[in-house]
Structure 1
Amino acid sequence: MSVSGGPLVTVTIPMYNNERFIRQTVESVLSQTYTNFELLVYDDCSTDGSYEIVASIDDPRIRLLRNPGNLGPEGNWNRAVSNIRGTYVKLICGDDILFPDCLEKQVAVFEEMGDERISLVCAQRTIIDADSNPLIKKINLVEGGRHQAVDVTRKLIRMGTNILGEPVCGLYPASLLPRTRGYSATVPYTIDLDFWMQLLKLGDLYMIEEPLCAFRISDESWSSRIGDLRYHQFLEFMEQTASDGSFEITDLDMFIGKINCAVHSMTSTVGFKLFA
C-alpha cells in the first residue's frame, strides 16, 4: 500500500546543470509501463537551462522544486528523499535513464515477496556514452535472485568495484529511510555504495538479472569529475565497510579487494578518458 493513499513509488531526481540530458531522463520516467508513481525533481540552483527544461514538460506527476541555495550533491540528494509519499523510492541522477519496464519489474519483486526481509532491489544496467550509445550492454557481477547482505558485501569488497550498481539501479522501501544516516559524500565516489551498505544492514538484496536502466558516462558526470581520486576513495570505502563487524569482512577479502581495486581503477580511468 502507498503512504496515505499516495503513489506507490516516488522517483526523485537531484538535478544540477543537467541541461544536456535531463529531458531524456525525465521522459524515461514518464514512459514507464508502471504508472502509480510521483516524480520529484530538485534543482540545486542550476546555472544552465535545466530548470526551464523540466518546467516546460507538462505532466501532473512532476513536482519541480528549486533549492533556495546550492546544497551540493550530498545536501541535494538528501533533500530529494526528504518529502516523499511513495512506499518505495528510486533516486536517479539527472543524466541516467530508466528502461520502460524498470519500475514494473522492481515493484513486482517487493510485492511478490510480501513481508520477506528485502531492503534493496537492484537491476543490472547498461553503460551508455554522452550520445546514449551503449558501451557495455550488460554489467552482470551479481547473479539474479536473493542474496544475504554478508555474502554480497564480502563479494563487493573482494572484487574491489561497485557490483550493485549506481542509484538508478536500486529501489528501496521508504520506511527504511529513518533507520539510515542518509546519503553521505564523506567519500564522494562511493556515496551510492555507502547508502546501499546502510540498507543491506537492514535486509537482503534481490538482483534482477536483466538490464532495466542505463548509467551514463560523460565528462559532465560527477564520477568522471572525481577522476583519479576514484581508486583512493574506493579504498577508503572498503576500509570503512570492513570496520563494520556485521559484514564479516576478513583480511583476505581486503587483500584480494585491494588488488582488484587497483586493476579496476586503471581500466576504468582509461575508459572514462576514451568515452568522455
Structure 2
Amino acid sequence: MTTVDIMMPFYGDVALMQASVRSVLAQDDPHWRLTVVDDSSDPAVPEWFATIDDERVRYLHNPKNLGLTGNFNRCLELVEHELAVIIGCDDLMLPNYVRVVRGVHADHPDVGIIQPGVRVIDSVGNATRTLADEAKQRLYAPRFERRYGLSGENLAVSLLRGDWLYFPSICWRSEALKGLRFRPELKVIQDLALLIELVQRGERLIADKTVCFEYRRHDASESSATAFDGSRFTEAGNFFADVADQMDAHGWHKAARVARLHLSSRFFALTLLPQALRARNGVEPLLRHAFGPGRS
C-alpha cells in the first residue's frame, strides 16, 4: 500500500505549526507518515508532540540549528516511503489531500511531480488572492478541466515563463528526489531550481484540479522580505542566466530564450516599484532586474 511521507521542516510560529499538524491528523486516508524536523529551540514544541498518541507521527529535533536550507535537506534525507511532500509549517492539508495524491499516483505511477488543487489563505486563515496568485492562475498556469500532464522542454518552458506551482503542496515520487538537494546559495528560488533539475532528468508533472491544500501567504515570509529589499531579484537574475545556459546545453533552446527573458520575474519587480518609491528603498535593484540584461 502506497504511503505518503509528509515532511515538515519547522522553524517558526508554534500555533501555526500545530494547526498544520492537526490538518494532517484529520486526513480521511490513513496511509501517511508525518515527520516534523524541529530546527527551533522552543521547549514547548517537544512537550506538545509528546501529547500526540499516533505512531504515524515522528518528531525529531536537530541537535544544532541547520538553517532553512539545511533543514529542508535534512527532510529530503529522511524520506522513506513511496511518495513525499514537504509541507510548510504554516500550511494546511484539507482532509482529502492524501487521498487525492494517492489517487493520481495510482493512475500515473511513473510521474515524479503531482500538483493538486490549492486554495490560498492569509495569515489568519481566510481565503485570499494576491497579485502573484492571480498571475499564477490567469497568466501562467495551463488551462485544463480535471488533470493535465507536462514533461520535457514544454514543462521547462511553462515553469520558466512563470512558476505556477505551489511547492509545499506538491507530492513527489520519492525515487525522483534521490540525490537531490536544495542549493544553499539560493534563498527564495530553491523550489524552482529543484524543479528544473528534475525536469532535465526527465520527470513528468501531473496537475489535478481537486482542491485539497491551503497555502498560507503572508508578509512574514522570506520571499516577501527579500522581494522588497531587492535581494530576491539579484538572486533571480543570476539564476535565470545560469539556467538559460543549461537549457542551451541541453538542446532546449526555446526554454533558454524564456529563461533569458524571465518576463514574469521582471513584471513582479515592476509591481513592487510603487512601494519602493514610497519607502525610498530598493528602487535601484528593482529597476535593474526589470530592465537589465539578467545576471547581476
Q: Could you say which TM-score interval applies, normalised by the shorter chain?
A: 0.7 to 0.9
| Residue 35 of structure 1: how far off its partner (Å) | 1.0
CA distance in 2 between counterparts of 1:86 and 1:97 reads 21
Partner of 1:43: 38
CA distance in 2 between counterparts of 1:154 and 1:236 reads 18
Q: Is the 8 A contact 1:149 1:205 kept in 2?
A: no
Partner of 1:164: 165
The two structures have a TM-score, normalised by structure 2, of 0.78
The partner residue of 1:151 within 135, 150, 154 is: 154
SS in structure 2 at match of 1:233 = helix
SS in structure 2 at match of 1:182 = coil
Partner of 2:28: 33
Residue 254 of structure 1 pairs with residue 259 of structure 2? yes
Residue 121 of structure 1 pairs with residue 121 of structure 2? no
| Residue 206 of structure 1: how far off its partner (Å) | 0.5
Q: Residue by residue, what CA displacement relative to the aligned partner does 1:169-217 show, whole Å, maximum 9, x if unpaired? A: 2111112232x43222322111112222222223111111233212212
Cα RMSD (Å) of the superposition? 2.5
Residue 132 of structure 1 pairs with residue 125 of structure 2? yes
Give unpaired runs (5+ residues) of structure 2.
276-296
* Greater share of helix: 2
The two structures have a TM-score, normalised by structure 1, of 0.83
Counterpart of 2:227, as a letter, is G
Partner of 1:265: 269
CA distance in 1 between counterparts of 2:5 and 2:269 reads 34
Of the structure 1 ranges 236-245 and 96-105, higher mean CA displacement relative to structure 2 is found in: 236-245
Q: Is the 8 A contact 1:11 1:90 kept in 2?
A: yes
- Cα distance, 1:58–1:266 mapped onto 2, change above 3 Å: farther
Give unpaired runs (5+ residues) of structure 1.
3-7, 272-276
CA distance in 2 between counterparts of 1:120 and 1:156 reads 13
Partner of 2:185: 186
Partner of 2:205: 205
SS in structure 1 at match of 2:78 = coil
Q: Residue by residue, what CA displacement relative to the aligned partner does 1:105-164 show, whole Å, maximum 9, x if unpaired? A: 1111111124xx4111112322211101111298531344111131121122223xx212
The structure that has the greater radius of gyration is 2
* Greater share of strand: 1
Counterpart of 1:224, as a letter, is S
The partner residue of 2:88 within 90, 93, 102 is: 93
Matching of residues 233-248 of structure 1 within 5 Å? 233-245=235-247, 246=250, 248=252
Counterpart of 1:199, as a letter, is L
- Cα distance, 1:255–1:77 mapped onto 2, change above 3 Å: closer
Q: Is the 8 A contact 1:12 1:41 kept in 2?
A: yes
Of the structure 1 ranges 134-143 and 64-73, higher mean CA displacement relative to structure 2 is found in: 134-143
- Cα distance, 1:230–1:124 mapped onto 2, change above 3 Å: farther
- Cα distance, 1:270–1:57 mapped onto 2, change above 3 Å: farther
Matching of residues 98-109 of structure 1 within 5 Å? 98-109=93-104
Aligned length: 259
Of the structure 1 ranges 40-49 and 62-71, higher mean CA displacement relative to structure 2 is found in: 40-49
- Cα distance, 1:233–1:123 mapped onto 2, change above 3 Å: farther
Partner of 2:287: none
Q: Is the 8 A contact 1:16 1:50 kept in 2?
A: no
CA distance in 2 between counterparts of 1:254 and 1:165 reads 20
